[in-house]
Structure 1
Amino acid sequence: MTSHDAAPEPVRRTPTLSVLDLVPVRSDQTSADAVAATRALAQVADRLGYRRYWVAEHHNMPAVAATNPPVLMALLAAATDRIRVGSGGIMLPNHAPLVVAEQLALLEAAFPGRVDLGIGRAPGSDPVTSWALRHGAGGVEEDAVARFPQHVDDVLAMLDRDGVGLRVGGRVHALRATPAATGVPAVWLLGSSDYSARLAAERGLPYVFAHHFSGQGTAEALRLYRDGFRPSEHAERPTTFLTVNVAVAPTREEALRLALPQVQAMVALRTGAPLTPQRLVEEAEAAPVADAHRPLVEAMLSRWVVDEPVAAAARVRALAAEHDVDEVMVHPVASAVAGTPADRAPARERTLELLAAALGAGAEVPVGAAAHA
């Protein structure tokens, strides 16, 4: 075969990077420290050109300060200039749909074109806290979960600039999330099962599978979503990206060391052990994982990106190509060593810096069919 007969090279480009943050609380931090560290991390992501910065919703957990995404989103949007801020996600069964619509409509008004509303169905907490959240919202857990599709529709309708008509006492009353909206936030459906994939496809919504948490079933969920997708005003075609746990350091050994506290936290979560604030690296090294849990550790690390910059960038490229996405949302899982300033997370900041630099230095991924908002 002559050179002019060779197959053309595929068009390639670097995957867009975003950030997912649970606002971890280390053993040397207060909640105020953890929030300050997250604010600084968001500013690093903004400076580096990351597309989105999403915060999760978890309750009554000693290592997680992300209890209220809209409050955090307002803080982070005010502290940054261009990055999109979002919820990854708001657990809709915990809240009245109108409250969610009102909060996000105000955020969109304050920071137009920069707000993403990610909606999830999981409890985000233990059963007792879930009861407290959902009982206070006027319902019980089973009702809230069963009515999730209707509540998604309610949020979408209430966010519409024209509002919705609510029939009460034989009359139709106008209901708007905000009086005079000029725009609406982008709405995403989140999930870790085929249930959310099917619902997102039916509603024509952008969709994200929780690969960073589950790590299994990602390809199947994305295939269900893409195959069943119905175009809508929210998205003309399947719109998705990949989430992944990442720790990057100058060497693989250092990256593994920095990720050890998060590994131990996930082992505790998976095995029902008591949860604690996130350990410092030295504390994690002093309490090694039991041999019986080593297979669990190896399985988790095989799905994470924990490495030096060049290898980490290659792994991100490979994951993006494997799942046919052109955006990767990084959950930075590096902890800190003793003596780290309590209000900063240097290892998490360095993860974002090293990965962005490695991908910007010629790291490319085939362009897939996935779109992004």
Structure 2
Amino acid sequence: MSSPALSVLDLVPVRSDQTSANAVAATLDLARAADRLGYVRYWVAEHHNMPAVAATNPPVLIGLIGGQTSRIRVGSGGVMLPNHAPLVVAEQFALLEAAFPGRVDLGLGRAPGTDPITRWALRHGAGGVDDGAVERFGEYVDDVLTMMEPAGAGLDLRGRTHVLKATPAAQSVATPWLLGSSDYSARLAAEKGLPYVFAHHFSGSGTAEALALYRSSFRPSELLAEPRTFLTVNAAVAETAEEAERLALPQLLQMVALRTGQPLTPQPLVEEAERAVADGLPESHEGLIGAMRRRWVIGDAAGARAEIERLAASYDVDEVMVHPVAGAVSGTGPASAPARVRTLELLSG
């Protein structure tokens, strides 16, 4: 099996020993490492009102990361389009593309990335919690892509056509990707001839079916002649498999809390996570941890690289996007995430 190209997904986690400023500083350090190590792209997510996630605003983070790196592609994994006016998204990514030409990816998702009340607040209460934005996702995608083009979009109003351009003199356009964790976005990406990524790192089931649907339904477009996709995985890699298991525990407990409706808190340190396990977990939670653990890449360098190669071959992709989930031990510098950096270093060989 050949080794796939590697990329990075970052949610900008906030640990119990960190401020938001610390978390952003740690992400910039991680991005510089990915750039230095030859990773293909670095994407940041969009989540809101979550104590353990500082990735609330992808365009702002992409601007910071782009300014701290020189080669790696930077982008969103993704912008949750129903939360935003299409023109605003088009303007943000047209400006990022102008600043970092040929390096910007615009990943678009349909989910809100938050709870209903926060989503209502994001949209200033327009139309209430359910304003139809999710159902209009396909239309909004078209709007964003058209307005980013150098010619812009024509808006017909009262018998006149008004031209809307995301930026006055675009020379290049950010590369769009559709993201999803169900078959909806797979169908839409295939219909529009766009690149597509299934959230394997989050869902863990239905990946093969979604990719097969996308590939079998794909219609070539001016942007893309044939299907283009890759795989996303959670990964914790250390000098030994035992240490990698230990470092993965904080994120596993976070995901259990999310899946079981527990109150969300900043990500615990490794020792805090170990104490929680020692105090005893409900049997159902132990089963959930085991099920998630089997879908993650956790191990030493050789074992983790072999597992990533196996996954890439199994899903027929030539790129794998790694979400580095290794936690931090007590005494780690708050503005750093050395175990996450080490994960990238060991995977890159």
Q: Does 1:352 align with 2:344?
A: yes
The secondary structure found in structure 2 opposite 1:222 is: helix
Amino acid in the other structure paired with 1:149 = G
Q: 1:255 to 1:356 in 2, by over 3 A?
A: same
Whether the aligned pair in 2 keeps the contact of 1:52 and 1:85 (CA below 8 Å) is: yes
The secondary structure found in structure 1 opposite 2:294 is: helix
Q: Which runs of 5+ in 2 are unaligned?
A: none
Q: Does 1:265 align with 2:254?
A: yes
The secondary structure found in structure 2 opposite 1:141 is: coil
Q: Does 1:200 align with 2:189?
A: yes
Q: Displacement of 1:173 after TM fit?
A: 1.1
Q: How does 1:148-187 map to 2 (within 5 A)?
A: 148-187=137-176
Amino acid in the other structure paired with 1:275 = L
Give the match for residue 80 of structure 1. Answer: 69
Amino acid in the other structure paired with 2:113 = G
Amino acid in the other structure paired with 2:109 = G
Q: Does 1:317 align with 2:309?
A: yes
Give the match for residue 52 of structure 2. Answer: 63
The secondary structure found in structure 1 opposite 2:266 is: coil
Give the one of 198, 202, 209 matched to 2:198: 209
Q: How does 1:1-373 map to 2 (within 5 A)?
A: 13-136=2-125, 140-288=129-277, 289-357=281-349
Q: Displacement of 1:306 after TM fit?
A: 0.5
Q: Displacement of 1:174 after TM fit?
A: 1.0
C-alpha RMSD of the superposition = 1.0
Whether the aligned pair in 2 keeps the contact of 1:161 and 1:181 (CA below 8 Å) is: yes
Q: Deviations over 1:42-81 (max 9, x none)?
A: 0000000000000000000000000000000000000001
Residues in 2 aligned to 1:136 and 1:35: alpha-carbon distance in whole angstroms = 29
Q: Displacement of 1:161 after TM fit?
A: 1.1
Whether the aligned pair in 2 keeps the contact of 1:246 and 1:351 (CA below 8 Å) is: yes
Residues in 1 aligned to 2:320 and 2:126: alpha-carbon distance in whole angstroms = 34
166-175 or 31-40, which deviates more: 166-175
Q: Displacement of 1:139 after TM fit?
A: 6.5
Q: Displacement of 1:135 after TM fit?
A: 3.6
Residues in 2 aligned to 1:129 and 1:89: alpha-carbon distance in whole angstroms = 18
The secondary structure found in structure 2 opposite 1:13 is: coil
Q: Deviations over 1:187-218 (max 9, x none)?
A: 00000000010000000000000000000000
Residues in 2 aligned to 1:264 and 1:275: alpha-carbon distance in whole angstroms = 10
Residues in 2 aligned to 1:33 and 1:113: alpha-carbon distance in whole angstroms = 29
Q: How many residues in Structure 1 have an aligned counterpart in Structure 2?
A: 346
Residues in 1 aligned to 2:337 and 2:137: alpha-carbon distance in whole angstroms = 36
Amino acid in the other structure paired with 1:326 = D
Whether the aligned pair in 2 keeps the contact of 1:134 and 1:144 (CA below 8 Å) is: no
Residues in 1 aligned to 2:192 and 2:47: alpha-carbon distance in whole angstroms = 26
Q: Deviations over 1:217-249 (max 9, x none)?
A: 000000000000001122111000000000000
Q: Displacement of 1:138 after TM fit?
A: 6.3
Q: Displacement of 1:142 after TM fit?
A: 4.1
Give the match for residue 367 of structure 1. Answer: none
Whether the aligned pair in 2 keeps the contact of 1:187 and 1:234 (CA below 8 Å) is: no
Amino acid in the other structure paired with 1:351 = T
Whether the aligned pair in 2 keeps the contact of 1:255 and 1:334 (CA below 8 Å) is: yes
346-355 or 283-292, which deviates more: 283-292
- Larger radius of gyration between Structure 1 and Structure 2: 1
Residues in 2 aligned to 1:274 and 1:253: alpha-carbon distance in whole angstroms = 29
The secondary structure found in structure 2 opposite 1:20 is: strand
The secondary structure found in structure 2 opposite 1:172 is: strand
Residues in 2 aligned to 1:345 and 1:352: alpha-carbon distance in whole angstroms = 11
Q: Which runs of 5+ in 1 are unaligned?
A: 1-11, 358-373
Amino acid in the other structure paired with 1:62 = P
Give the match for residue 368 of structure 1. Answer: none
Q: Displacement of 1:290 after TM fit?
A: 2.7
Whether the aligned pair in 1 keeps the contact of 2:117 and 2:129 (CA below 8 Å) is: no
Residues in 1 aligned to 2:249 and 2:126: alpha-carbon distance in whole angstroms = 38
What is the TM-score of this pair, normalised by structure 1? 0.91
The secondary structure found in structure 1 opposite 2:172 is: coil
The secondary structure found in structure 2 opposite 1:342 is: coil
- Percent identity between the two aligned chains: 71
Residues in 1 aligned to 2:15 and 2:66: alpha-carbon distance in whole angstroms = 24
Q: Displacement of 1:132 after TM fit?
A: 0.9
The secondary structure found in structure 1 opposite 2:345 is: helix
